[in-house]
Chains A and B, each alone.
Chain A
Amino acid sequence: MLPIIFVMPIVQLLILSNAATFEIKNLKIYFNDFDKSTYSNRLKSKFYQTDYFQITGESTSRKMAEAQLSRNTADIICEIPQDFEKNAVKYGLSKVFFKINAIDGMKAGLTVNYAQNILEGFISEINNELSYKLSSAIASPRPKSIRVNYSNWYNERLDYKTFMVPALLVLLVTLIGGFLSSLNIVREKEMGTIEQINVTPIKKYQFIIGKLLPFWILALFVFTIGLLCTRYIFFIPLAGSLLVLYAFAAIFVLAIMGIGLFLSSVTDTQQQAMFVFWFIVVIFILMSGLFTAIENMPVWAQNLTRINPLRYFMEVIRMVILKGSGFNEVKVHFLIITGFAIATNSIAVWRYRKKS
């Protein structure tokens, strides 16, 4: 068991951080070029030049293009209509048509984004040329284009791992702390050992502390391993204070163990406890902002995340590691998670007392 506890987190970090990426490369694009002009060729070559797209073919048949889409050999079809170049030059207005496989909404969204970026680059290039050539001949006044410059703060190179690895640490700590504690007391029930212990003068708090303390230490130990991996395997610098991070983790683990303890006291078998814990933890994980940003959720779901302790740790760990937030910036989080820890543990102890 012990090696599993130590090796598992590292393996999980390595696998998940590399697999769970939103960055998509080599999107397969298919062209329906009905114009076959200089402009249309230039546009195609723009797609050819990036890593994001991979050109899988070209024809003038819409049917063939759609067949590619339905066979999954293309992710996006770009249709360049007839007179694409002519309209652009003459009226300054032309159209390109994208058809995108949107089974995976996230991927489709990114595909549109990438394609639009390329298109915008192409348009500004053409605009510059045209305004230079035919500055007075254009009928409608074209707005001066606005160039957007941006720099990525806190994650300069937009490295996905920088964003994911700290969040995965939260996952690890949750699983270790919550899972083990939820199985613990119910195991004593299953084995019958609790019967013998209950007849002794041992105090309830002594028993519960005895049950929880080892897992609390274990969870923080795994957290430490995770942080070392973050630093020395993924080279993510820790911008904020280690103390704030540990203090928060310590309280967070308490809150999670409270949930585990509660489950342990209301269930009769390890199997029941395990099932209920998974059910809850999956919801917690999916609604923690690990994969889907909380801001993107519908309002009711956003409100629901308020009762999710994972959400707060997820935010704090990213803020502290990436942004270097100090205690002042996360003090509300501290307050909330302390509330959680007190609430879950009191309910668990109360429930445990009632039972015996």
Chain B
Amino acid sequence: MRPPIDIYGISKHYEDIIALKDISFQVNKAEIFGLIGPDGAGKTSMFRILTTLLLPDTGEAYVQGYHIVKDYKKIREIIGYMPGRFSLYQDLSVEENLSLFASIFGTTIEENYELVKEIYSQIEPFKDRRAGQLSGGMKQKLALSCALIHKPEVLFLDEPTTGVDPVSRTEFWGILKNLKAYGITILVSTPYMDEANMCDNIGLIQNGEILSIDTPGKMTQDFDRDIYAIKTKHKHKFLNTLKSYENTYSVFSFGDSIHYIDVRNNVKESELISTFSKMEFPEFNIEKIKPTVEDCFMDLMKQE
């Protein structure tokens, strides 16, 4: 039996831009698969192909065993899709939007209320408000409710947390985790590397190519270089100096610190301190850290 999402060698180009290059991956039942990559990596194209909105140039893909081109009508009945852009009717009220999507799928709000209850109950006090007047977090909850109202077997969420505040983001991932209990398979994309840990499996995507697929834990575990976080007041200057330093393997800015990897394996922390101290940066703090998904991503990009 095929896994709920089964992709073989999908490619897609727009005129002279290559959006997807020979993509293959599988998503298992009731798992959250995160497609992680920067803007323009090809995430949305992948989603549009899987949701039957776009035809691939080459390759095959199946959703719940249905072919994305031949059985597109079947697929449309069993998936829920939440596009990256808010795509509900802004001039309809919250409740009207939900019942519209319920009726399109031949069901009612009451019938599947159980599934959306956790999310919808939060926006229900505003059910008479127009969707266009909701806040970002509430819009996202409404969109998810609409994508879930027909009890889909596979849920496609294209950058659901973009433009949403940190509290709502955490809350949102909590909701997704609960949906797994209903056996719903979820493919989600995000440009935020820190959200990778919320997924069961992740695929790192860049320039239309999958760089790596693994669980977030395994991916960071397999990272075999030592990583140092450097904190300093002169971050920008320090970064530039390290970029031209002969033993630098890679260096990039990470939040309020700098992540540094040395060319030499097993170089001692004290050695680095003494080297950097000579570079006219008296005040800094260096510490060996565990790699994050972002470090893996940066490393994979470098190898490209």
Chain A interface residues toward B at CB < 8 A: 191-202, 356
Contacts and interface: CB of A to CB of B under 8 A. Distances in A.
The 9 closest A-B pairs by CB, nearest first: A196-B87, A192-B87, A199-B81, A192-B85, A201-B77, A200-B104, A201-B76, A195-B83, A199-B51
B105 interface: yes
Interface in B86-139: 86-90, 101, 104-106
Contacts of B52: 199
Interface SS, B side: loop
Contacts of B106: 201
A192 B86 CA distance: 7
B104 A202 contact: yes
Pick the most buried of A194, A196, A202: most chain B CB atoms within 10 A of its CB.
Answer: A196
B300 interface: no
19 contacts: A191-B87, A191-B90, A192-B83, A192-B87, A195-B85, A195-B87, A196-B81, A196-B83, A196-B87, A196-B146, A199-B52, A199-B53, A199-B79, A199-B81, A200-B76, A201-B73, A201-B77, A201-B105, A201-B106
Contacts of B89: 191, 193
Contact of A200 (B83, B86, B88, B101): B101
A228 B170 CA distance: 61
Given A191-B87, A199-B52, 9 more contacts: A191-B89, A192-B86, A193-B89, A195-B83, A196-B83, A196-B146, A199-B79, A201-B104, A201-B106
Contact of B88 (A196, A199, A202): A196
A197 B51 CA distance: 12
B88 A193 contact: yes
A194 B89 CA distance: 10
A202 B79 CA distance: 13
Interface residues of B, number: 20
A356 B88 CA distance: 18
Contacts of A199: 51-53, 76, 79, 81
Nearest to B82: A196
Contacts of A356: 53
A194 B79 CA distance: 16
B87 A200 contact: no
Contacts of A201: 73, 76-77, 104-106
Contacts of B73: 201
A128 to B, nearest CB: 76
Pick the most buried of B53, B87, B105: most chain A CB atoms within 10 A of its CB.
Answer: B87
A356 B72 CA distance: 12
Nearest to B132: A191
Nearest to B77: A201
A193 B104 contact: no
Contacts of A193: 87-89
A193 B52 CA distance: 16
B17 to A, nearest CB: 18
Contacts of B85: 192, 195
A191 B51 CA distance: 19
A74 B85 CA distance: 65
Contacts of A200: 76, 101, 104-105
A198 B83 CA distance: 11
Interface in B61-80: 73, 76-77, 79
A210 to B, nearest CB: 10
Contacts of A198: 53
A194 B51 CA distance: 13
Contacts of A202: 104
Contacts of B53: 195, 198-199, 356
A196 B87 CA distance: 6
A197 B147 CA distance: 11
A142 B146 CA distance: 92
Contacts of A191: 87, 89-90
A88 to B, nearest CB: 77
Contacts of B79: 199
Interface string B40-68: 00000000000111000000000000000
A203 to B, nearest CB: 9
A199 B150 CA distance: 13
A58 B133 CA distance: 72
B68 to A, nearest CB: 12
A204 B77 CA distance: 15
Contacts of B76: 199-201
B195 to A, nearest CB: 23
B210 to A, nearest CB: 24
A252 B52 CA distance: 36
Contacts of B101: 196, 200
A37 B41 CA distance: 96
Contacts of A194: 87
A194 B101 CA distance: 13
Contacts of B87: 191-196
Nearest to B101: A200
A200 B100 CA distance: 11
A191 B132 CA distance: 11
Contacts of B88: 193, 196
A194 B106 CA distance: 19
A356 B105 CA distance: 20
A200 B105 CA distance: 7
A196 B106 CA distance: 16
Nearest to B86: A192
A195 B53 CA distance: 8
A81 to B, nearest CB: 74
A19 B86 CA distance: 47
